[in-house]
Chains A and B, each alone.
Chain A
Amino acid sequence: MPTHPIRALRASSFGAFAHVDLEFASGLNVIVGDNGAGKSQLLKVLYACTATLEESRDGALSKTTLSRTLASKLVGTFKPESLGRLANRQRGRARAEVRLKLGGLKEHLAFSFATNSRSEVVVASAPTRSLEDTPVFLPSRELLSIYPGFVSMYNERLLEFDETWKDTADLLGRPPLRGPRSEAARELLAPIENLLDGRVSEVGGRFYLEQRGLGNLEMHLVAEGQRKLAMIVRLVQSGTLLQRGYLFWDEPEANLNPSTLRAVAKVIDSLARSGVQVFVATHSVFLLRELSLLGASSGASDYMITGLARGPEGVVAAQAGSIQDLDLSYIRALEAEFEQADRYLTSDSSAI
């Protein structure tokens, strides 16, 4: 697992959140909630904090420096017009406060900013060491097909893509490992490459899937689900997500059919077991069931499900160790499925 796994997050008046006080598992963390309940925001604030702490060299972890680098990362990750837009004004409060606790680090990362903040946060405390592990943010669509030229264009032009796209594209471009760790990567990747029925390669800045009998297929010719799995292959090959690291994956289910999603669930589960701290935001009851089945079959306990729901004063959260223990009001997708079942089963048109 990461040297410093994310243990807890407390956030007040940040984005959609009124106040949340969350703890996380070192293995797999699943985040559920309705549209607009803040699932992506939760992933992004965790990503922005860990990415800032990873990108800062040890000597640069002063509060003064962090106040700028953290603010810049938050703006790059969320893309508001100004930093202060991320502080919500509900309940008459106009100051966002965030506190992140990392395992093995005595000092928390704690910062705040006001609605009129533009480019700096106030850092109340900060770890004295930078993070050794790399955070990875996977947006809901794959990036391999747009990779060629994307990073250089992002660096040269004003694009509306948020910074996670560029960061992740950078990581996808990292070359594969050599030496003993590459053997560990091959072992972890074998089942994924079986699912892909091929190997992922990079030639001249473009990615290909080398499929048996078909040769090199350009990523544009490969199904979206396979491209998503291929991103994981690249990140494991380079050691970024090999037995360590943080993975934040927003709606892995997007554009995938259930059989491919089952494969994705297996990959998520195997990454978490191999030592990556995984955070997945999802609407998919199918994915929740697959992850639950995978966890139950092995008796895994390093699992936390976080439900987010909009309340009158902002988003509130609840957490549980299993889907059955989380109140249904936080799992709108499941509630909607129950409602649909009743409508479908009693509809005349369904009695075919």
Chain B
Amino acid sequence: MSEVEVEVDGNRFVFPASFEIEVYDEWNFYRKLTAAPLKAAGCDLVALSADTMYLIEAKDYSRPDSKKWPGVGKLADAVTVKGFDTLAGILAAAKSGGMHEAFGQKAVSRERFILCLSVEFPATDRLAQTYRPALKDAIARKAKYLRSQPLVVSNATSGKPWESSRAWR
């Protein structure tokens, strides 16, 4: 088995071969959920390790063509809503009888889930990296009812379950 490689928002994510990965926001099933009246949001990736479902949202604000930094509060809001909506979407997929049913069932059978933001800040110096804990605190406060500590990482973060790096020039 070989590693799984996915590109999201100009960044390359490389997962261990033991992971199962779905680019959730490209599912047709998800696209239908984005229409009225649900207007669901969704994380970029759903990654399954042996015991954990990672809901991963990737944002790169360091790209010259990236969207403007939304602010800690608004970004935390957006990630939280995406996390909740993705959980609901995965649960619905698990009962859908459609092509994502098997993945959905595996996902909901995991012992725990972790909402993860992989973020590249608009400022790239070392001091900027000290704001990742602030972002984690902000998301943890918004997502407190999930009772699952969020993960906020960047390409430079060591020790995360996957590797990621800039794919854009």
Contacts and interface: CB of A to CB of B under 8 A. Distances in A.
A256 to B, nearest CB: 17
Interface in A166-192: none
A257 interface: no
B32 interface: no
Contacts of B61: 345
Interface residues of B, number: 23
B67 to A, nearest CB: 12
Given A334-B137, A337-B134, A338-B73, A351 B144 contact: no
Interface string A213-229: 00000000000000000
Given A328-B141, A337-B134, A341-B135, A351 B125 contact: yes
Residue among A289, A296, A345, A346 having the largest count of chain B Cβ atoms under 10 Å: A345
A352 B124 contact: yes
A182 B55 CA distance: 51
Given A289-B133, A338-B72, A324 B140 contact: yes
Residue among A322, A324, A346, A352 having the largest count of chain B Cβ atoms under 10 Å: A324
B124 A344 contact: no
B15 to A, nearest CB: 26
B134 A346 contact: no
A54 to B, nearest CB: 38
Given A338-B72, A338-B134, A344 B144 contact: no
Contact of B124 (A328, A338, A347, A351): A351
Nearest to A334: B137
Contacts of A350: 123, 125, 127-128
Residue among A289, A328, A346 having the largest count of chain B Cβ atoms under 10 Å: A346
A352 B125 CA distance: 6
A342 interface: yes
A156 interface: no
A342 B123 contact: no
A328 B144 CA distance: 13
A156 B131 CA distance: 51
Contacts of B141: 324, 328
Nearest to A346: B69
A296 B149 contact: yes
Contacts of A342: 69, 71-72
A338 B138 contact: yes
A352 B122 CA distance: 11
Interface in A300-352: 322-325, 328, 334, 337-338, 341-342, 344-347, 350-352
Nearest to B73: A338
B72 A346 contact: no
Interface string B92-123: 00000000000000000000000000000111
Interface string A19-50: 00000000000000000000000000000000
A344 B127 CA distance: 9
Contacts of B69: 342, 345-346
Contact of A345 (B123, B133, B144, B149): B123
A351 B135 contact: no
B134 A324 contact: no
A106 B141 CA distance: 38
Contacts of B144: 322, 324-325
B50 to A, nearest CB: 23
A341 B72 CA distance: 7
Residue among B123, B127, B149 having the largest count of chain A Cβ atoms under 10 Å: B123
B125 A341 contact: no
Nearest to A289: B133
A120 to B, nearest CB: 46
B8 to A, nearest CB: 21
B135 A346 contact: no
Interface string B128-169: 100101110110110010000100000000000000000000
Residue among B127, B128, B131, B141 having the largest count of chain A Cβ atoms under 10 Å: B141
26 contacts: A323-B137, A324-B137, A324-B140, A324-B141, A328-B141, A334-B134, A337-B131, A338-B72, A338-B134, A341-B72, A341-B131, A342-B69, A342-B71, A344-B131, A345-B61, A345-B69, A345-B122, A345-B123, A345-B131, A346-B68, A346-B122, A346-B123, A350-B125, A350-B127, A351-B124, A352-B124
Given A344-B131, A345-B128, 6 more contacts: A334-B134, A338-B134, A347-B123, A351-B124, A351-B125, A352-B124
Interface of B: 61, 68-69, 71-73, 121-125, 127-128, 131, 133-135, 137-138, 140-141, 144, 149
